[in-house]
Amino acid sequence: MSSFYGVELKSRLLLGTSRYPSPAVLERAVKASGAEVVTVSLRRESGAGRAGQAFWSLIQSMGVRVLPNTAGCHSVKEAVTTAHMARELFDTPWIKLEVIGEADTLQPDVFGLVEAARILSEEGFEVFPYTTEDLVVAERLVEAGCRVLMPWGAPIGSARGLNNVYGLRSMRAHFPDIPLVVDAGLGVPSHAAAAMELGYDAVLLNTAVAEAGDPVEMARAFALGVEAGRAAYLARPMEPRDMAVPSTPVIGKAALGD
């Protein structure tokens, strides 16, 4: 089980809820994934005529925990304001904090992220910061009150997998007691398995499932990938070697004459 701010979860897969072909496909994909937490953007609940009400009703019917996010926010003020609105609407102290700093890669503005995380933590929010694998930034986020860190695997929606395995492994070693979630950039279940093999506590993804040819089957495949990666980590994999080692014992091998 994984634990986030004292909440115990059986599933180590967190799933986003945008870009699905239809609400029905979204519902089936969430069920197939086994996810107990889904991320929801406040923008899905905005607009004239309570356009998001049907969507919110769907999410409520799934029986999952909601992790609202500040997706699309480019400043501290915008992110903090969005977080306040999300807490009021979704009635949860949880917030996935995004402060975007670069338009093409959607890389976090780490300076604004730390500032927003400090403000929200002081106001009672339980912050899940979307960050990079930079250890200095991670230290500042923990000092700001974050009890979970969510480094990216690759740019959001890129499906490139783990761009910096060294950095992610270093973060795991540096923060052995902080729940770590790889967030963004995963494309196939093997990417999720690789993250879990590094000892990460969970993965969060959206586009890889929502834009798959069959989102429901892809959700199921990611659930299996996460499970396999976690099992492999717990099994303590052998270390890579530079030279071959025969798997068949050579002791007792028959000696043949010329």
Instruction: Tell me the CA distances in angstroms from 97 to 75, 146, 179, one per residue in order.
Output: 11, 10, 16
Under 8 Å between Cβ of 132 and 151:
yes
- State the DSSP H helix or E strand holding residue 123, giving kind and residue range, or none if neither: none
Per annotation, catalytic residue among 10, 31, 77, 96? 96
- The two three-digit tokens of residue 22, written as one number: 């239809």
Q: Which of 241, 163, 165, 156 is nearest to 197 (CA)?
A: 165
Residue 199 is classified by DSSP as: T
3 state DSSP class of 230 = helix
Task: Work out whether strand 2-4 and strand 7-9 pair parallel, antiparallel, or are unpaired.
Answer: antiparallel
**Residue 253 bears catalytic tag:** no
Point out the residues that are catalytic: 96
